[in-house]
Structure 1
Amino acid sequence: MADLNVNEASKADATYENPDRHMREQFFDILNRKRIYSVYQPIVSLTDAGVFAYEALTRGPGQSVFASPLALFEYAEKQGLLYQLERIARERAIQGAHLPQRKQLLFLNISAAILQDPRFVPGQTLELLEEQGLAPGNVVLELTERSSIEDFTMAKKVLEHYRNQGYKIAIDDAGAGYSSLQAIAELNPDFIKIDRSLIRSIHTNKTKEYIVETLVTFARKLNIEIIAEGIEEEEELVKLTRMGVHFGQGYLLGRPDERFQSVPEACRNLIIQHRKIGFGDGSAWAIGDLKRQVQLFSVDTPISEVAGYFKMNKRATGAVVVEDGAPVGLVMRERLFQQLAGQYGFSLFWNRSVDQLMDKQPLIVDEQTPVEHVSQLATSRDIDNLYDLVIITSGGKMAGVASIRSILESITNARMESAKVASPLTGLPGNIQIHRELSRRLNEKKRFSVIYADLDYFKWFNDRYGFQKGDQLIQFTADVIQQAIAEYGTPLDFVGHIGGDDFIALSSAADPDRLCREIIRRFDAGVKKFYEPGDWTYVEDRSGQRVESSGVTVSLSVIVCQTLVPASLEHISEAAARLKKKSKMSPGSVYVIEELRPDVSSEAAGQSFK
């Protein structure tokens, strides 16, 4: 940028009353010499714990009064020079953006007021990106709340131009600015960043939790992804991860730095442990299970060749356009012929390349994405694109496609199967799914633990207080086991309801003892709410014999299946029955644990613990 001349400086003087000469000199020196730099803060996926993107943040000279970006941009706005400063900031951010992975995104802050500045010329950002070997698909334009949008019609027009080039849009500070909800409704962004005021202490504030839950549900219906800002405590990270928030950002996950940081190991472990891996019924299916092959064309293929393919293949509904093995566009049969059938359509497009007519923003998902989530993304598209093929990738490369019909059929079938075999009381998988999961784990020949849980004196409790309160106690037990698994298990652990007051958990946790202790701790602490203290001094066992007890307890029988030990469902069942009998001999809530090993006979007793 050329040095600001005297007239521009005079104009700035006229728009800013009583300027401090020293501050003004510093500011113009920063602008003329471009004495600002960018730092980058990671935005982390709360599903796979990887760095999804980096936000570029501007910093002024270290010893200057404008070292703080807030002071720098506020002064620029008062001087009427916000456009010039933001252009330099974008330039510096892009020049320093050496993204570790090609698929990662770069978030660039843009003040809403800039959209209405006549000097905000489309195409300038693209030139900077090309110089750095980046593409618009790598960039998210993040609208900040420094000023509200006054003309949404103009803003939508400008942003639509950028969207057509491949840029994505984010709305910053949702929940903080009075106009943020209107901006979301009018601009339909790709990302919503939830303000840190809603994130701080969310694990202890139910009101904040309910607001964020509402935003997550609302965003999912609109095919918008949520980013939680200002995460500084581990408890906040765990709560947001469990709630299904898509991405997180904050000092806990990484501070702004000139280096491109990775996710701290402790945070990675927390995310993997607590991530929400299910999106509802049918979540066991990944979209890659439904993929089928489709015709591929390169970006320079003539439209006449694509049309010829569809004429020769009447059953083909669409084709994918690829570049270097990665999908970049979609051509749907009916839409192509509609465009060619229009006035002058044939003569205008027949000899042009297919990238002139392809959909440049099709729905592209990784093969590991749950089918239920893909369904939500697909059905939230515009009505004109509702039945377009969904493109599936593997490692960013073309893998196949899935139709809306196949996606909806798989979800329907999964829900029907689940409804047939799930427990109607707890909603947990029933015996058919339990046997299937247990067999699968045995075939994998990997170490895992089988935890059988049943309640002591439940029949007496049910007879005394009635089936309604008995059902509540069974549901409570199911919740206790699942919560303990979430705390000390692994993301793919399984919990099933055998029937009545009997449950099973299959866990790959390295320390099953700790998991059992947590189940007992949670159960003993919570079961007291079902009766008043001192409500009884004895219970009755199934034979009607009185037993001194302060209430219902839980017994756990734990069989650890080792990697190299051959085992069967019968072996595990026999061991569980034996351990159950032993656990019932000890008063209170206990667990008994045994390892299936070649040198352990079927009569060997396990170890018993409180």
Structure 2
Amino acid sequence: MGFAFDPDFHRNQRVETGEEQTRAMFEWLRNEYRRSLDLRNKLTPETTDIFVQPLVALDKTRSIHAFEVLGRFREGDGHISAGLFIDDIILMGLAPEFDTLVLEQVVAQSESLARITSRLFVNVSPASLEKREYIDKLIQAVQGPLRGFEVVLELTERVLLERIGLISELHRDHGLHFAIDDFGTGYSTLQTVIELALEGSIRYLKLDGSLTRNITTSLASERIMHITQQMARELNLETVVEVIETVAQVDKLRELDMDIGQGYLLGIPDTVAVWKGKLNYLESRISGTAPSTFIL
């Protein structure tokens, strides 16, 4: 028995498939609209907050070198990480708005921040550096409420290459310093790093967390960190190692003489008020006045 082509059957199939595709597209657009609306509703002064996470010296002092500012959204009685939405924030062109809200929170909480640190690390998106309005607000902040802080802006290697002139200007004219975030992902040139380091714009190299995860098992990761640390010493820079989660990682990083660490093992992100309470407690323990019922 041969195969008989049925035009009505195939025509109906095409119509059905087209209708399904249309419904699927409509459903996708509706979900995207809802997600967009939900995200825009989160980007308000009332719903945006900041957490801070310590950057800790990896030497024997274990002193807190600085705090990194992390965006959070208020949700009910708690907070959710803005990092969960960062791809959508960037895709929708909302990064400057988000960075501005974070900066405003830093300014609003500057008095409380001053009680726990004099150095702040703040992430900035490439899109924000394209907006003069954001740059002006940043300059006003560092010349006003944040003038008592050393403000370190974290930039990716790609942005470093694209905005060299602005980076030099912000350092030269307004005293801002910079950290290369996720260093080692391959976008920067050694010449650019050296030039910005010698003029004092760059102060820190933050090594990509993937290196930390493999530091106890990968000879390549160990060598990369060792070479980076040697270069940092030559350029009078400090290294910051992210995503530290185990004691074994800390031991290896100390063996490599890395400078500063960051990760859940050393301190979890939390509100400024919570970290103020933790540091007050630690100080009271040192002085012998800590309450015996206090739990850190």
TM-score, normalization by structure 1: 0.36
Shift of 1:144: 4.0
Change in CA separation of 1:87 and 1:105 when aligned onto 2, cut-off 3 Å: same
Contact 1:34-1:88 at 8 Å conserved across structures: no
For residues 272-328 of structure 1, give each alpha carbon's deviation from its aligned partner in whole angstroms, at most 9, with x where no partner exists: xxxxxxxxxxxxxxxxxxxxxxxxxxxxxxxxxxxxxxxxxxxxxxxxxxxxxxxxx
Q: Distance in 2 between matches of 1:264 and 1:195?
A: 32
Taking only aligned residues, the RMSD between alpha carbons, in angstroms, comes to: 3.0
Q: Distance in 2 between matches of 1:263 and 1:229?
A: 25
Alignment counterpart, residue 159 of structure 1, candidates 157, 167, 181: 167
Question: Residue 44 of structure 1 aligns with which residue?
Answer: 56
Q: Distance in 2 between matches of 1:60 and 1:221?
A: 41
Shift of 1:222: 1.2
Aligned residue for 2:123, secondary structure, equals strand
Within the alignment, does 1:127 sit opposite 2:177 as a pair?
no
Contact 2:212-2:242 at 8 Å conserved across structures: yes
Aligned residue for 1:72, secondary structure, equals helix
Which amino acid in structure 1 is aligned with residue 62 of structure 2? A
Contact 1:196-1:230 at 8 Å conserved across structures: yes
Question: Residue 122 of structure 2 aligns with which residue?
Answer: 108
**Greater relative contact order: 1 or 2 (C-alpha under 8 angstroms, separation 6 or more)?**
2
Structure 2 gap segments, 5+ residues each: 1-27, 283-296
Q: Distance in 2 between matches of 1:95 and 1:144?
A: 26
Q: Distance in 2 between matches of 1:139 and 1:81?
A: 23
Q: Distance in 1 between matches of 2:91 and 2:128?
A: 14
Greater C-alpha Rg: 1
Aligned residue for 1:184, secondary structure, equals helix
Change in CA separation of 1:181 and 1:172 when aligned onto 2, cut-off 3 Å: farther
Within the alignment, does 1:31 sit opposite 2:43 as a pair?
yes
Shift of 1:31: 2.4
Within the alignment, does 1:58 sit opposite 2:71 as a pair?
yes
Q: Distance in 1 between matches of 2:255 and 2:38?
A: 47
Q: Which has the higher helix share?
A: 2
Which amino acid in structure 2 is aligned with residue 115 of structure 1? L
Aligned residue pairs total 241
Question: Residue 177 of structure 2 aligns with which residue?
Answer: 168
Q: Distance in 2 between matches of 1:255 and 1:246?
A: 19
Shift of 1:223: 1.3
Aligned residue for 2:134, secondary structure, equals coil
Which amino acid in structure 2 is aligned with residue 158 of structure 1? L
Question: Residue 392 of structure 1 aligns with which residue?
Answer: none
Contact 1:51-1:262 at 8 Å conserved across structures: no
Question: Residue 155 of structure 2 aligns with which residue?
Answer: 143
Change in CA separation of 1:181 and 1:232 when aligned onto 2, cut-off 3 Å: farther
Question: Residue 218 of structure 1 aligns with which residue?
Answer: 231
Within the alignment, does 1:234 sit opposite 2:243 as a pair?
no
Structure 1 gap segments, 5+ residues each: 1-16, 266-610
Shift of 1:162: 1.8
Question: Residue 423 of structure 1 aligns with which residue?
Answer: none
TM-score, normalization by structure 2: 0.71
Contact 1:170-1:193 at 8 Å conserved across structures: yes
Q: Distance in 1 between matches of 2:204 and 2:122?
A: 13
For residues 241-298 of structure 1, give each alpha carbon's deviation from its aligned partner in whole angstroms, at most 9, with x where no partner exists: 2221111111110000112255999xxxxxxxxxxxxxxxxxxxxxxxxxxxxxxxxx
Change in CA separation of 1:236 and 1:181 when aligned onto 2, cut-off 3 Å: farther
Question: Residue 18 of structure 2 aligns with which residue?
Answer: none
Which amino acid in structure 2 is aligned with residue 114 of structure 1? S
Question: Residue 208 of structure 1 aligns with which residue?
Answer: 221
Q: Distance in 1 between matches of 2:93 and 2:207?
A: 29
